[in-house]
Structure 1
Amino acid sequence: MRIPHIYQPSELVVNQPTTLNDDAAGHIARVLRMKEGEQVSLFNGQGGEYLAKITAISKKAVEVTPFEFVDRCVESPLNVHLGQGISRGDKMDFTIQKSVELGVSEITPLFTTRCGVKLSGDRLAKKHHQWQKIAISAAEQSGRNFVTKVHPPISLEEWLSQQSNELKLTLHPRADHSIKTLPKPDQGVRFLVGPEGGFTDEEMANTTGQGFIDIKIGPRVLRTETAALTVLSALQLQFGDLAL
């Protein structure tokens, strides 16, 4: 039976009992219905994981005691920062979840001309918090011991202007370059995927002006939620944890 892999954002020390936060405790007690004496795997995003035993449990609180540290890493050697045009409904949730499973390092949701999603104030803060929780859940599910950072949403122009030594890529269906023709990204990759309505000509010109290379991954036009995952998979195959 697979031991549940749970994120606990606190210091973890072998043989020192710790009380889990509300999200972790609720998942163990109410969703998984675990009992005292059962084991869990904990990670705090600082590397490795801790095997722990449940020493006290109720509907509102769970105490565990780590008994072994396992220096285990399943991270890709390729750091990837995804700039994702914000999509509507649950498409953005899906993109974040699956990108984390595929090993993305950072995600920045982007407001673009054709974004179609209006968020500000409390609604924006709540949505950002929701996206980060989705990233945490995806890290737990996929066995990662680091949590992908979901940055607060910003405008495309602001993201493009950020200084970076990463290889910069823009997905475009009429591009001349493919992933196979790219140089090895020794400083990681920063790649950009448009919203459902795509980028405007002005936005595409702006990406080129900021040093982004247009790439394509086939002859067909992909939906925004498919595009990000396809590029991530191709990057992992060419340069990341699937490269031979």
Structure 2
Amino acid sequence: MRLTRIYFSEPLTADSNVLLPKETSHYLANVLRLKAGDTILLFNESNGEFLATINEVRKGGVSTIVAEQRRAPAGSEVSIELGLGLSKGDRMDYGIQKSVEMGVTAITPVNCEFGEVRFKQAARVENKLRHWRRVAVSATEQSGRLDVAPIEAPQNISDWLGSVKTSTRLCLDPAAEVRLGDQPLSSSVAVLIGPEGGLSKAELALAEKSRFTRVTLGPRILRTETAPVAALAVVQHLLGN
């Protein structure tokens, strides 16, 4: 039986007692119906992954006893930054979820000319960020990763392009002549994917000025939530990761 994996951001050591946060405790006790004596996995990027036994289920939270380490923390030689055009509702959630599952290192939601989402209030931005970060944590737990890819605050496309420091820089464009699968890659990659309406001519020109190479995934035009999955699968395959 597959054990439930739970991300725990605080330090983890063998033979220690850990009281899980209320939201996590509610999920384990009331959704999964786990009880004292059941075993789970606790993990984070700094300490690795540990077996843990539920010691007590109470109103204040689920208490666990951390046992032996199952996996040590391990850094990756591959770094993939994703600039993802802001999209409505579930499309953005899906794009973030699947990108994390595919091993992306960091995601920045990007404001684009043809995007349909505009955040006018700081409180709404913070609410969305909290939600997206929960999506990222859940995808990390499901996929077996130890590290949670950070979801950065939304940026204008020009600001994000100017901040990228990676060696390989790719911009998805259905009209591009170069196929992603034919593009040589370094171990440090940035990928820009536009929103539902795609990237404007001005944005494509700005990307090229920022040393991004326009690449295509093939003759079919993919949805904005599907494109990250396809692009990251190709990148990871080319990098042998």
Q: Give the TM-score, by structure 1 length.
A: 0.93
Q: CA deviation at 1:71?
A: 2.3
Q: Secondary structure at the match of 1:190?
A: strand
- Matching of residue 157 in structure 1 with residue 158 in structure 2: yes
Alignment of 1:180-195 (within 5 A): 180-186=181-187, 188-195=188-195
State the distance in 2 between where 1:47 and 1:212 align.
36
Structure 1 residues 5 and 86, CA gap change in structure 2 (3 angstroms): same
Give deviations 1:18-73, integer Å, cap 9, x for gaps. 11112221211111110101111001222520111111112441111111012256
State the distance in 2 between where 1:185 and 1:129 align.
32
Q: CA deviation at 1:76?
A: 6.0
Structure 1 residues 91 and 113, CA gap change in structure 2 (3 angstroms): same
In structure 2, the residue matched to 1:37 is 37
State the distance in 1 between where 2:6 and 2:197 align.
37
Give deviations 1:89-116, integer Å, cap 9, x for gaps. 2100010011111111110001111111
Structure 1 segments, 4+ long, off by >3 Å, are 72-77
Structure 2: which 5+ runs fail to align? none
RMSD: 1.6
Q: CA deviation at 1:165?
A: 3.0
Structure 1 residues 193 and 114, CA gap change in structure 2 (3 angstroms): same
In structure 2, the residue matched to 1:142 is 143
Give deviations 1:152-197, integer Å, cap 9, x for gaps. 11111100011403310000011121223222313x1100000001
Q: Secondary structure at the match of 1:225?
A: coil
Structure 1: which 5+ runs fail to align? none
What is the identity, as a one-letter code, of the residue corresponding to 1:49?
Answer: E
State the distance in 2 between where 1:14 and 1:228 align.
37
Equivalenced residues, count = 240
Give deviations 1:125-168, integer Å, cap 9, x for gaps. 10011000000001011111111111111111100011403310
State the distance in 2 between where 1:72 and 1:102 align.
20
Q: Secondary structure at the match of 2:13?
A: coil
**Identity, % of aligned positions:** 36
2:12, 2:47 within 8 Å by CA — same for their partners in 1? no
Q: Secondary structure at the match of 2:87?
A: coil
Q: Secondary structure at the match of 1:149?
A: coil
